[in-house]
Chains A and B, each alone.
Chain A
Amino acid sequence: MLSLIERWLKASAHETQEYVYLTSAAFYGVFTRPFYRHDIVEQFDQIGAGSLTVVLLAGLFTGAALASQSGLTLDQFGARPVVGRLVSASMIKELGPVLTALMLTGRIGSGIAAEIGSMVVTDQINALRALGTDPVRKLVVPRVLAGIFMAPVLTVIADFIGILGGWVIARFQLQVNSGLYWSSITKGLYIQDVWMGLSKPFVFGFVIATIACHVGLRTTGGTAGVGKATTLSVVAGSVAVIASDFFVTQILIALMY
């Protein structure tokens, strides 16, 4: 029993060490030559444009559901007209960033792990190294950059479409005046909320991409191993997003409010 715990501790320490090592190598790769521009552009397109549909759908329905639910609660206080304020605050500060990040984990976290994992088990990573290419620069750096910079863009889009979905419900189900809905949003929105909502996705994008690359690169055990790596990447990525959401929230509250 004790040896089991010891082995588990050792394995997780090793895993953490490898993860830190990979992220620092990626960090170094961002600022030093050579760059693989073509791969960077391709990843921005894949991760950014490729995730637009899921993010739009998730944002729209979340905003709408949020408005419906808030409507019920607010009615108890006779405060139905401020539904816009509630939708926008929840969407921008919390749900937009987190849901977008979770959708991204499902879509690109799994994709990255599967792609890199299958390159590992078919020796393509070794082939890259044998041909003089550093896989971190060629594969990891473009994906991490795309994650860091596309997650905020997608989050803003999700926020906006969510608020729009909330408006549809507010206007047609809750019968709140449109002007009232929009003005309660602008009035109730603090600059701190915007900063909170904008800084989170940078962290999430980084976390999702680095975890997926790390898990992918450590794939072993043939094709079956690729499946496991893909699952692990989604599970670990989702947990990491939610956990880091908590910590980032605490830090930002301490700093800004």
Chain B
Amino acid sequence: MVQGSIETQTARQILREPGAPVVVFDHVQLAFDDKVVLRDVSFTLIKGHTKVILGASGSGKSTALKIVVGLLKADAGIVWVNGQRVDQLTEKGLMDVRDDLGMIFQEGALFDSLTVRENVGYKLYEETALPLADIDRRVEEVLGFIGLAEHIGKMPSELSGGQRRRVAIARAMAFKPSIMLYDEATTGLDPITATTVDDEMIKLRDLENVSSIIVTHQLRDAFYVAEHMAMRQGNGEVHVVRATREKEREAEFIMLQDGLIIFEGDADALRTSADPYIRSFLS
């Protein structure tokens, strides 16, 4: 008992330090019936860093994110999230882990019977005992941050695709998780809207120290997020500027193909890779 509490204490301390591993995949495998989706996938997400998962559609990117949140169970391998064995936890135990995970689903997955306000505040309204006034304030704050304050009373069906994506981001960040998982948050958006969504991801990462896993097959957005950073100016204004070399290295790319990781490295390494499959992906 005593030993256990000491151990968790150390685990917590380690997770608080910079450079702590917040998400770890260790030889993860998953198959749907006889279709192998993840053959052997291992990677580590460091606190405050960005992991970009690339891959053709059907390569298992969404599946990997769902494993992180515990929505799917890996057939084999170990999955750590914030020091907890997600692969072993029961649904009840997973609820604690999920308190620190913000997931943006591929198509947004907004609750279409609820308003934008109710969607964004969903977890706070339904799963916490916070005073309503505080929740309302937080929802308005988040929607302001994401630039959708005037749409607070609308239903999701009244929003454009880009707005729905941003509401999904707002819903995931409303309860201040320290890890955000974006599943193709910019796919299908025009370049300008995509950039505003990218900027939100950058701001969350650099201003709130959120660790992120970004799933995409749009390289433009992947490179943009990896190579930019958000800075708060003296007057409080936030600007997204070109990242320093050091900051750039905090974003790591991995490429999935046939259930395996065929590339791992930073933006520069990806750009200069000689692998024919990656080259065809880049062009």
Chain A residues proximal to chain B, CB less than 8 Å = 34, 36, 122-124, 126-134, 138
Question: B residues 81-106 with Cβ under 8 Å of A?
Answer: 91, 95, 98-99, 101, 103, 105-106
- Residue B112 lies at the interface, judged by CB distance under 8 Å to chain A: yes
> Complex Cα distance A122/B109, Å?
6
Chain A residues with Cβ under 8 A from B69's Cβ? 126, 129-130
Closest to B69 in A: A130
Determine if B109 and A127 form an interchain contact, defined as CB atoms under 8 angstroms apart: yes
Chain B residues with Cβ under 8 A from A132's Cβ? 95, 98-99, 123, 127
Determine if B123 and A127 form an interchain contact, defined as CB atoms under 8 angstroms apart: no
Determine if B112 and A124 form an interchain contact, defined as CB atoms under 8 angstroms apart: yes
Question: Which of A126, A127, A128, A133 has its CB near the most chain B CB atoms (within 10 A)?
Answer: A127
Determine if B107 and A123 form an interchain contact, defined as CB atoms under 8 angstroms apart: yes
Determine if B109 and A126 form an interchain contact, defined as CB atoms under 8 angstroms apart: yes
B105 in complex: contacting residue of A36, A127, A133, A138, CB < 8 Å: A127
Determine if A130 and B101 form an interchain contact, defined as CB atoms under 8 angstroms apart: yes
Determine if A126 and B123 form an interchain contact, defined as CB atoms under 8 angstroms apart: no
Determine if B127 and A126 form an interchain contact, defined as CB atoms under 8 angstroms apart: no
- Residue B126 lies at the interface, judged by CB distance under 8 Å to chain A: yes
Chain A residues with Cβ under 8 A from B122's Cβ? 131
Question: B residues 123-141 with Cβ under 8 Å of A?
Answer: 123, 126-127
Between-chain CB contacts (< 8 Å), 26 pairs: A122-B107, A122-B109, A122-B112, A123-B106, A123-B107, A123-B109, A124-B109, A124-B110, A124-B111, A126-B66, A126-B69, A126-B105, A127-B103, A127-B110, A129-B69, A129-B71, A130-B71, A130-B103, A131-B126, A131-B171, A132-B95, A132-B99, A132-B127, A133-B123, A133-B126, A133-B127
Chain A residues with Cβ under 8 A from B109's Cβ? 122-124, 126-127
Chain A residues with Cβ under 8 A from B110's Cβ? 124, 127
Chain B residues proximal to chain A, CB less than 8 Å = 66, 69, 71, 91, 95, 98-99, 101, 103, 105-107, 109-112, 122-123, 126-127, 171
> Complex Cα distance A138/B171, Å?
18
> Complex Cα distance A132/B127, Å?
7
> Complex Cα distance A133/B175, Å?
14
> Complex Cα distance A132/B91, Å?
10
B91 in complex: contacting residue of A122, A126, A134, CB < 8 Å: A134
Chain B residues with Cβ under 8 A from A130's Cβ? 69, 71, 98, 101, 103, 105
Given contacts A131-B127, A132-B127, contact A126 B95 (CB under 8 A): no
Closest to B72 in A: A126
Chain A residues with Cβ under 8 A from B98's Cβ? 129-132
What distance in Å separates the Cβ of A10 from its nearest Cβ neighbour in chain B?
13
What distance in Å separates the Cβ of B26 from its nearest Cβ neighbour in chain A?
22
Known: A131-B98, A132-B123; 12 extra A-B contacts, CB below 8 A, are A123-B109, A124-B109, A124-B110, A126-B105, A127-B110, A129-B91, A130-B69, A131-B122, A131-B126, A131-B127, A133-B126, A138-B126
Chain B residues with Cβ under 8 A from A127's Cβ? 103, 105, 109-111
| 3 closest residue pairs by CB, A with B | A123-B109, A127-B109, A131-B123
> Complex Cα distance A101/B59, Å?
46
What distance in Å separates the Cβ of A243 from its nearest Cβ neighbour in chain B?
31
> Complex Cα distance A134/B92, Å?
9
Chain B residues with Cβ under 8 A from A124's Cβ? 109-112
Determine if B107 and A126 form an interchain contact, defined as CB atoms under 8 angstroms apart: no
Question: Which of B106, B109, B123 has its CB near the most chain A CB atoms (within 10 A)?
Answer: B109
Chain A residues with Cβ under 8 A from B66's Cβ? 126
> Complex Cα distance A126/B107, Å?
12
Chain B residues with Cβ under 8 A from A123's Cβ? 105-107, 109
Chain B residues with Cβ under 8 A from A36's Cβ? 126
> Complex Cα distance A126/B66, Å?
9
> Complex Cα distance A36/B127, Å?
10
Question: Which of A34, A36, A130 has its CB near the most chain B CB atoms (within 10 A)?
Answer: A130
Closest to A115 in B: B113
> Complex Cα distance A210/B171, Å?
30
Chain A residues with Cβ under 8 A from B111's Cβ? 124, 127-128
Closest to A39 in B: B126
Chain B residues with Cβ under 8 A from A131's Cβ? 98, 122-123, 126-127, 171
> Complex Cα distance A123/B105, Å?
7
Chain B residues with Cβ under 8 A from A34's Cβ? 127
What distance in Å separates the Cβ of B107 from its nearest Cβ neighbour in chain A?
6
What distance in Å separates the Cβ of A56 from its nearest Cβ neighbour in chain B?
27
> Complex Cα distance A34/B123, Å?
13
Closest to B101 in A: A130
> Complex Cα distance A36/B123, Å?
13
What distance in Å separates the Cβ of A126 from its nearest Cβ neighbour in chain B?
5
Closest to B128 in A: A132
Chain B residues with Cβ under 8 A from A129's Cβ? 69, 71, 91, 98
What distance in Å separates the Cβ of B95 from its nearest Cβ neighbour in chain A?
5
> Complex Cα distance A126/B72, Å?
10
Closest to B97 in A: A132
